[in-house]
Chain A
């Protein structure tokens, strides 16, 4: 077995997921949080679309499928939905962040909740 055989989509997906998680755990900048979130999600997408993939299989669209291995289409279909949701979520996150920064000039997660603000 060649060493490169270990680098399958699933393994890389899992690695990307945890790299993203590491970024979320350590970075205090809000923009970096959003970026780490995207990395994490890309890891998941990669994991899904390579589920149970065997090399040489074909997409099940527009060709004769008798006698050939074809790819399971369900994960790809799920990922189209998930990518759209991911884009929406990233956009909303960025919108919130931009509003917050322009109005209040804050770019980092603060250490503590502003307790004085709760006095009405």
Chain B
């Protein structure tokens, strides 16, 4: 049953590629709806009866290659399957939406499912490597000079990162003679001390941190997600869904090492710095795609903070934020694609009057912006509320508020596009399919906020009660934040200077690899100090 989830998208892609005519689009839509239905069915099944294991070839569990679905993994699968419907609808009329693209796009879906479901370390390596290839080809799909350069950086950096994972797996196999995540977790408890797994932990965390793009390893992300000529759908998939596979692996691997290694303090601070650096660099950009790409870095940092607070509510808040971030960041990338197609520029200072020129696109963008900044009643507010509840420490609350302020500032800059005068007369012609997809995703960010309590209960079996008084208080803080954000924007950000210069700092290819080696050394040193 679980094998179908991984295999069928690839098969559907192949069939659509071979047909390559009008019927193939129809086949893809029908398939995707059925597929989301299947994912939902398995989701309900897991919710009712607990985790499902699927062993290949009937070998005993732990030795066989296996797919494993528990609450988190099946949730990621469901999320990916549902979002792909919106992406396919968005792309219906686009020029690049042809045979080769179907194949790569659907294959990527299958590979992501494999990453979410696989319980075998070596299979995870294979899925990572193959998905790197697919993503690199999707990035350079238009064969433009900048896109090829960015795609090459993405490709080489990630292949080298995955080599670290392979080496780490080898060391683990040397110690345990096992490759199954759950089996290794069980045998971890039999170790005399954590010394034997320090090196493999370091190696594997380098790969995972590279995939999640935390400081200092995020330099490839803006290149890959914000490359000018990549189709908007590709950017949306990368920023909304694919980056989450890294976060997911972080959860899985940390859970695997949890009997002997606890690094949550380290990764909490890494998450904070990632968030800080992410929004500071986002402030320095003027290309709308790059603003969004750097902002993904910042939000991933927030998710990492939530995951590493060592409290249950913050953990589930972070998982819910994975879902919310997928909604609003996909919406923003999709609408950004329509905006720069219409205006012919990506410069945030040159695009004005979106509400007059493209009203519905502007509405979708507004919903997404309200979601990402955590406005009351929108989804971002619920997950940020949950993350903020993970701590009673004023210092940590302050850190979270700094990040919120940063988010606010960069999106006030982004939302200047919405207002102002219409550059031309009348409304722009927009593609109806693309519009429906992005507006429905925008509205989803409102409904997932209103029904936040019910959704967390339904998706994760985790009950959260939003305290009304506190929520109103947060709403007032939100208004204050807007005022402060506007003041900062007009006072500092608009004039550029230092902040623009910071925004243009970036590592070269050799710099990224050196950062990777340095990160590895830091993790191993830190670990040897605390154990």
Which A residues fall within an 8 A CB radius of B? 10, 17, 21, 24-28, 30, 33-34, 37, 40-41, 44, 47-48, 51-52, 72, 74-75, 78, 81-82, 85, 88-89, 92-93, 96-97, 99-100, 103-104, 106, 109-115, 117-120
Nearest opposing residue in chain A for B156, CB measure? A33
Which B residues fall within an 8 A CB radius of A? 122, 125-126, 129-130, 133, 136, 140, 143, 145-146, 148-153, 155-156, 159-160, 163, 166-167, 170, 173-174, 177, 179, 223, 228, 287, 289-290, 340, 344-347, 504, 506, 508-510, 513-514, 517
| Bound-state Cα–Cα, A21 to B520, Å | 12
Are the CB atoms of A118 and B146 closer together than 8 Å?
yes
Q: In the assembled complex, which residues on chain A have CB atoms less than 8 Å from the CB atom of B153?
A: 109
How far apart are B22's CB and chain A's nearest CB, in angstroms?
31
Q: Known: A81-B126, A85-B129, A118-B287. Is A51-B174 also a contact (CB below 8 A)?
A: yes
Nearest opposing residue in chain B for A117, CB measure? B146
Are the CB atoms of A26 and B129 closer together than 8 Å?
no
What are 20 A-B contacts with C-beta separation under 8 Å? A17-B167, A24-B160, A24-B510, A30-B152, A33-B509, A37-B156, A37-B160, A41-B163, A44-B170, A47-B167, A82-B166, A92-B133, A96-B148, A96-B155, A103-B145, A110-B508, A114-B146, A114-B149, A120-B340, A120-B346
Are the CB atoms of B177 and A72 closer together than 8 Å?
yes
| Bound-state Cα–Cα, A106 to B133, Å | 22
Nearest opposing residue in chain A for B506, CB measure? A113
User: Looking at the complex, which one of A93, A99, A119 makes contact with B155 (CB distance below 8 Å)?
Assistant: A93
Q: In the assembled complex, which residues on chain B have CB atoms less than 8 Å from the CB atom of A51?
A: 170, 173-174
Q: In the assembled complex, which residues on chain B have CB atoms less than 8 Å from the CB atom of A100?
A: 148-149, 152
| Bound-state Cα–Cα, A75 to B179, Å | 10
Q: Known: A40-B163, A41-B163, A82-B166. Is A120-B145 also a contact (CB below 8 A)?
A: no
Are the CB atoms of A26 and B506 closer together than 8 Å?
no
How far apart are A64's CB and chain B's nearest CB, in angstroms?
24
Are the CB atoms of A75 and B146 closer together than 8 Å?
no
| Bound-state Cα–Cα, A48 to B151, Å | 30
Q: In the assembled complex, which residues on chain B have CB atoms less than 8 Å from the CB atom of A88?
A: 133
| Bound-state Cα–Cα, A27 to B514, Å | 11
| Bound-state Cα–Cα, A109 to B155, Å | 13
| Bound-state Cα–Cα, A41 to B155, Å | 15
| Bound-state Cα–Cα, A103 to B483, Å | 50
Q: In the assembled complex, which residues on chain A have CB atoms less than 8 Å from the CB atom of B177?
A: 52, 72
Nearest opposing residue in chain A for B509, CB measure? A109
Interface centre among B136, B145, B345 (most CB of A within 10 A): B145
Q: In the assembled complex, which residues on chain A have CB atoms less than 8 Å from the CB atom of B133?
A: 88-89, 92
Q: In the assembled complex, which residues on chain A have CB atoms less than 8 Å from the CB atom of B146?
A: 113-114, 117-118
| Bound-state Cα–Cα, A93 to B163, Å | 15
| Bound-state Cα–Cα, A6 to B126, Å | 32
Nearest opposing residue in chain A for B222, CB measure? A113
Are the CB atoms of B170 and A48 closer together than 8 Å?
yes
How far apart are A120's CB and chain B's nearest CB, in angstroms?
6
| Bound-state Cα–Cα, A6 to B287, Å | 55
User: Looking at the complex, which one of B228, B344, B506, B514 makes contact with A118 (CB distance below 8 Å)?
Assistant: B228
Are the CB atoms of A117 and B228 closer together than 8 Å?
yes
Q: In the assembled complex, which residues on chain A have CB atoms less than 8 Å from the CB atom of B136?
A: 92, 96
Q: In the assembled complex, which residues on chain B have CB atoms less than 8 Å from the CB atom of A89?
A: 129, 133, 159
Nearest first, the 7 closest Cβ-Cβ pairs linking A and B are A109-B509, A117-B146, A24-B513, A25-B514, A118-B228, A51-B174, A118-B287
How far apart are B61's CB and chain A's nearest CB, in angstroms?
16
Q: Known: A85-B129, A89-B129, A96-B152. Is A120-B514 also a contact (CB below 8 A)?
A: no
How far apart are B396's CB and chain A's nearest CB, in angstroms?
35
Q: In the assembled complex, which residues on chain B have CB atoms less than 8 Å from the CB atom of A26?
A: 510
| Bound-state Cα–Cα, A52 to B178, Å | 13
| Bound-state Cα–Cα, A112 to B153, Å | 12
